[in-house]
Structure 1
Amino acid sequence: MVMKQLLLLVRYRVNFIIQIVSMYLFFAVIFFGGKAVARNIGGGAVGALSSTFDGLIVGWFLWTMAQSAYSGLQGEITSESMRGTLEHLYLSPYGFGSVMCLKIIVNVLLSFFWGAVMLVSMMVTTQIWLTVDLLTILPIIIFSLMSVIGIGFGIAGLALIYKKVGSISNLMQFGLVGLIAAPVTGISLLRFLPLAQGSAMLQMAMQEGVALWDYSLRNIALLVGTGIFYFVLGYLLFIYCATIARKRGVMGHY
Structure 2
Amino acid sequence: MNALLTLTRAVARKELVLMVRYPVNTLSNLFLTYLFFVLIFFGGQAVAGPALTASLDGIIVGFFLWTMASLSFGYLAWSVTAEAQWGTFEQLYMTPFGIRTIMLVKAAVGTTINFGWGLGMLLLLLVTSGRSLQVDLGTVLPLGALTLASAVGIGFCFAGLSILYKRIEDLLSVVNFALVGCIAAPVESVAWLKAIPLAQGSYLLRRTMDGGIRLWEIPAPEILLLVGTAIAYPAAGYYVFRWAQRRARRKGILGHY
Q: 1:26 maps to what in 2? A: 36
Q: 1:17 to 1:78 in 2, by over 3 A?
A: closer
C-alpha root-mean-square deviation of aligned residues, in Å? Answer: 1.4
- Aligned: 1:8 with 2:11: no
- Within the candidate set 100, 103, 106, 2:106 is matched to 103
- Aligned: 1:224 with 2:227: yes
Instruction: Supply the AA of the counterpart residue of 1:133.
Output: D
| TM-score, with structure 2 as normaliser | 0.91
Instruction: Supply the AA of the counterpart residue of 2:181.
Output: G
Quick one: distance in 2 between partners of 1:7 and 1:170?
Answer: 25
Kept in 1, the 8 Å contact 2:44–2:52? The answer is no
Aligned 1:1-254 pairs, distance under 5 A: 1-39=11-49, 46=50, 49-254=52-257
CA apart distance, 1:97: 3.0
CA apart distance, 1:98: 2.5
Instruction: Supply the AA of the counterpart residue of 1:2.
Output: A
CA apart distance, 1:50: 3.1
Count of aligned pairs: 247
- Structure 2, unaligned stretches of length 5 or more? 1-10
- Structure 1, unaligned stretches of length 5 or more? 40-45
CA displacement, residues 212-248 of structure 1 (integer Å, 9 cap, x when unaligned)? 1111111001101011100000001000110010011
Identity of aligned residues (%): 44
Q: Secondary structure at the match of 2:55?
A: helix
CA displacement, residues 154-213 of structure 1 (integer Å, 9 cap, x when unaligned)? 111122222232221111111100000000011101000000000000000110011111
CA apart distance, 1:49: 4.5
Residues 130-139 or 7-16, more deviating:
7-16
Kept in 2, the 8 Å contact 1:83–1:252? The answer is no
Kept in 2, the 8 Å contact 1:132–1:206? The answer is yes
